[in-house]
């Protein structure tokens, strides 16, 4: 089946990058545009200024659904990422551009219940313990099982692959039916400590502040909006002081919209200070730290998912 405007498609690479427009691409972005989307090489090649280029909007994981809205002759597709809510931009999801060869048309006959990847980073193989076919698959990726586990390995259907691929069975878990425990979500986010800050990033190779929150809850089947201000609207406000680990801190400058988000890791008490895990724009990486004074001055809310 071919891609068609007005139809859904699936991401066929481990991590696809959603761009503001094809004309915004920089020379450094080449590795992320290939058919295989080499995200580790792309991230490692950037300097600190290139890490925050606003040409990147978000990223999409293997198997993620998009609505194709336009196909260009030069190989670019305009899409709406329907699993990344962005009400202020498009009620259908997050809009942007990506290379069309990183997508595959949806097979309408496949309706199996997926499992979710729990490994921070894993690889899909041609057969149990065989050669790697698709590296860099990220926690939170949903994969449809292609049969029962065998000798500790599980076959899965992969978009764009003619035959099932394999990964260790222990790296796949069912998507929870009920809401997750905040401590479990925080534990997933803590695995991304020290990951590089990439504006628009949504992977274990590079991530931004709202991407860290989105990805941690996505692992448990909760699809929060992609951007921090939308995440504030979609969550429940609490009185300051009522927070507990796993809740969310929101930050905004006077008269401006919310621009930053962190995950509560410890609350103020006695001589202790509030602590949070966040992808820090200034330090260009994910850190867990006491809330700095300048951050505390722009703290505008505490919310719970």
Q: Which residue, among 89, 46, 42, has the nearest Cα to 69 in the 3D structure?
A: 89
What residue spans of the chain are helical by DSSP H?
30-33, 39-44, 182-190, 209-218, 228-233, 293-296
- Most distant pair of Cα atoms in the chain: their distance: 63
Phi and psi torsions of 222, nearest 5°: -100, 115
Q: Residue 254: helix, strand or coil by DSSP?
A: coil
Q: Residue 175: helix, strand or coil by DSSP?
A: coil
294: Cβ–Cβ under 8 A, 6 or more apart, which residues?
A: none
Q: What does the block give as tokens for 81? A: 């990422």
Contact indicator for 12, 165 with CB cutoff of 8 Å: no
Which pLDDT value is given to residue 113? 78
Q: What does the block give as tokens for 106? A: 């949806």
Per-residue pLDDT of the chain (305 residues; tens, 9 = 90+): 899 999 999 999 999 999 999 999 999 999 999 999 999 999 999 999 999 999 999 999 999 999 999 999 999 999 999 999 999 999 999 999 999 999 999 876 555 679 999 999 999 999 999 999 999 999 999 999 999 999 999 999 999 999 999 999 999 999 998 899 999 999 999 999 999 999 999 999 999 999 999 999 999 999 999 999 999 999 999 999 999 999 999 999 998 999 999 999 988 765 568 899 999 999 999 999 999 898 999 999 999 99
Q: What does the block give as tokens for 280? A: 């820090």
Which pLDDT value is given to residue 269? 63
Angle at CA of residue 93, ends 256 and 252, nearest 5°? 15
| Residues constituting the chain | 305
* Cα 40 to Cα 36, 133, 196, 255, distances in angstroms: 11, 16, 11, 38
Which pLDDT value is given to residue 1? 80
Contact indicator for 182, 247 with CB cutoff of 8 Å: yes
Beta-bridged to residue 238, according to DSSP, are 302
Which pLDDT value is given to residue 267? 81
């Amino acid at each position: 089946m071919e891609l068609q405007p007005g139809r859904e498609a699936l991401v066929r690479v481990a991590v696809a990058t959603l761009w503001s427009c094809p004309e915004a691409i920089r020379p450094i972005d080449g590795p992320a545009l290939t058919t295989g989307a080499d995200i580790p090489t792309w991230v490692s090649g950037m300097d600190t200024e290139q890490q925050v280029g606003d040409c990147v909007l978000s990223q999409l994981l293997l198997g993620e659904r998009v609505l194709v809205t336009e196909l260009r002759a030069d190989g670019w597709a305009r899409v709406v990422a329907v699993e990344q809510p962005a009400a202020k931009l498009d009620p259908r999801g997050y809009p942007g551009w990506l290379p069309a060869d990183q997508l595959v048309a949806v097979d309408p006959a496949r309706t199996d219940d997926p499992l979710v990847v729990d490994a921070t980073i894993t690889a899909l193989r041609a057969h149990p313990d065989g050669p790697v076919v698709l590296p860099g698959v990220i926690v939170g990726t949903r994969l449809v099982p292609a049969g029962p586990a065998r000798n500790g390995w599980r076959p899965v259907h992969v978009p764009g692959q003619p035959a099932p691929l394999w990964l260790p069975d222990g790296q796949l878990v069912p998507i929870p039916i009920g809401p997750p425990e905040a401590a479990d979500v925080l534990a997933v986010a803590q695995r991304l400590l020290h990951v590089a800050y990439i504006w628009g990033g949504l992977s274990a190779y590079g991530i931004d502040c709202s991407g860290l929150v989105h990805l941690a809850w996505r692992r448990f089947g909760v699809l929060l909006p992609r951007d921090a201000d939308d995440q504030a609207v979609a969550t429940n406000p609490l009185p300051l002081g009522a927070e507990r680990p796993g809740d969310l801190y929101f930050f905004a400058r006077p008269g401006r919209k919310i621009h930053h988000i962190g995950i509560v890791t410890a609350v103020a008490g006695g001589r202790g200070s509030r602590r949070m895990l966040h992808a820090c724009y200034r330090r260009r990486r994910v850190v867990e730290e006491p809330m700095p004074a300048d951050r505390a001055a722009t703290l505008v809310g505490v919310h719970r998912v």
